[in-house]
Structure 1
Amino acid sequence: MVCGTIAHVSETTAPDTGTALDDADLARARDGDDAAFTRLVEPLRRELHAHCYRMLGSTHDADDALQDALLRAWRGLARFEGRSSLRSWLYTVATRTCLDSVERRGRRALPVDLSPASERTVMSDAPLTEVAWLGPYPDAGLAAGPAAPEARYEQREAVELAFVAALQHLPGNQRAVLLLFEVLGFSAAEIAETMKTSTTSVNSALARARKVLAKRVPPGTQQQSLRKIEDERLKEIVGEFTSAMERGDADALVALLTEDVTWSMPPLPHWYTGLDAVTDFLVKVPLGSCGSWRHITTSANGQPAVAGYLRAEDDGEHVGWAIDVLTLRDGRISEVTSFIGREHFVAFGLPTSLP
């Protein structure tokens, strides 16, 4: 690692737990009033964006997909008859838009998907630019609880890194079916209408998707783990992590980690697992050869996170380097995923540099 360097869209009848339809604004929007359309969709924009992220694994791709989906919805609004909720119809449009994107771009990955862990620190690690990497999600304002009574996953559980990473191993149709059913509470019949297929195909896709996720997603979610930790203790863990990084205190940092901890840094391809390998990496790279660090606490993927700023020279400013997403288990850090890149700071609304 070198530091510093519209088609027709039919309506479905899924449960509506969002804002009630404003009939006056709907009529105005059908007549071409874009301000009325904006008022209709704005309360739903955040959850639609999260849905696009779950489908695509990238905040940037989710931005593009949501913009495209709302444009499709605006152009096709005359065909929306109100037999279902506007929210349900917009999810149909957004899902089909994301499926188009999945077909074009394929899936996103983390380093652990590509190769075994490295036993020794790789000092010459360089970004692997030909890989489409999974990105972090700025989850501030994301609602807690399921989107519908029938849904299995809470909204925050459904953006956790392990869950979104596992989704990337599913074909687009299975990804969509699982999210519509397990996260949003659509019925199999409603999903079949959305996907233009049969309920038999939907149930088959759902069964296959569940089988894959059962192998790739830990039995306990991060939300369950975090609920076992008092808020003050969680703040202490994050504070101790950032303080140890800034002091260059390897012993204090290692004391926070589980024995089977993993550390990865997309877009760098090498990653480390186990306390010995991770300690060797920490001593040689972030605490050894990089420079000085400053941090801002944030939240990503429903998990605690810190934004790391690196200063390679004594007289320079600290420049945004990586968003470190922390996975916790039994009060310790079991995984650190450092998403390197200044573009992530922009998506999180964070400054790209600090004095």
Structure 2
Amino acid sequence: MSELKNDRFLRALMKQPVDVTPVWMMRQAGRYLPEYRATRAKAGDFMSLCQNAELACEVTLQPLARYPLDAAILFSDILTIPDAMGLGLYFETGEGPRFKKAVTSVADMEALPVVNAKADLGYVMDAVSLIRRELNGRVPLIGFTGSPWTLATYILEGGSSKDYRATKAMMYNEPEAFTRLLDKLVVSIIDYLNSQIAAGAQAVQIFDSWGGALSHAAYREFSLNPMQKIIAGLTKHNDGRDVPVILFTKGGGQWLEAMADSGAHCLGLDWTTDISQARARVGDKVALQGNMDPAILYAKPERIRQEVGNILAGYGTGTGHVFNLGHGVTPQVDPAHAGAFFDAVHELSGQYHNV
């Protein structure tokens, strides 16, 4: 593997000094980029794009050709594991993800297999290896997964949901069976992330997209506890160093202290949490990633720059900040506005380092 030329992202995750605040963007390879839309059209559909290592590599690298990013993130989907469980993932235009096979009973949940990442999701590892090789040490590569709770909601709802009615009914009515489903997902995800790391991922993020939909007690039992098990099960580098883990619960600002005790190296923040308050609450225990409102990218570049300045000032001086949006970039964003965002982070953040 080539020597890493830009390691400020990994250094920030481990709370080491950097020259400027590193920045990347969730969904940075996505529909807001015309070159992505062209590649997706060439692939035919979203899953064909994910399952073709060459095309997945192509779209992963597209934003790096445009912007001064400090990390690349594997192009894939959080629902690859449910798909590998035999549920038949597909995407309905304008409707989001759907599964061909329904899971509506305890018996259905018990029948789901544990996923063997190399056997069942080899195309993801092929993409990781190819992307890492093509990056040639330019920036680090992030691997990722959905959280057990988030994957369980998609499995039991059959797709996206506004109220998680089927999932919460199962969770409350059949807690032991629901916990067995989560445990199955934990085992699958540990293998999946470790396989990504073995293939070349240099950091990993757990996307707990819907953890914020849970009550206080339910979050700790059904979302945070399974994620802690995953973090504890991850492999280290050959020299014993940790592979940095980012834990991102959307809507999870009220649980930062508990999340900081999870074993994660960095907590992702959405835009509803003030970053200065978050830093005060977690202290030096973990790094923080975030947390600009993605909708700011609809604003004029000067307003984007102002917001970047506000967040940098809120975090303040010192180590441990990775700049990001508080959720994924949306398809209608002007690519030039994303460029203004990245430039502003690098131009404005130097004053908060080496002081």
Who wins on radius of gyration, i.e. which is larger? 1
Q: Where is the helix percentage greater, Structure 1 or Structure 2? A: 2
Same fold (TM > 0.5): no
| TM superposition score normalised by structure 2 | 0.26
Q: Where is the strand percentage greater, Structure 1 or Structure 2? A: 1
Larger RCO (CA within 8 A; separation ≥ 6): 2
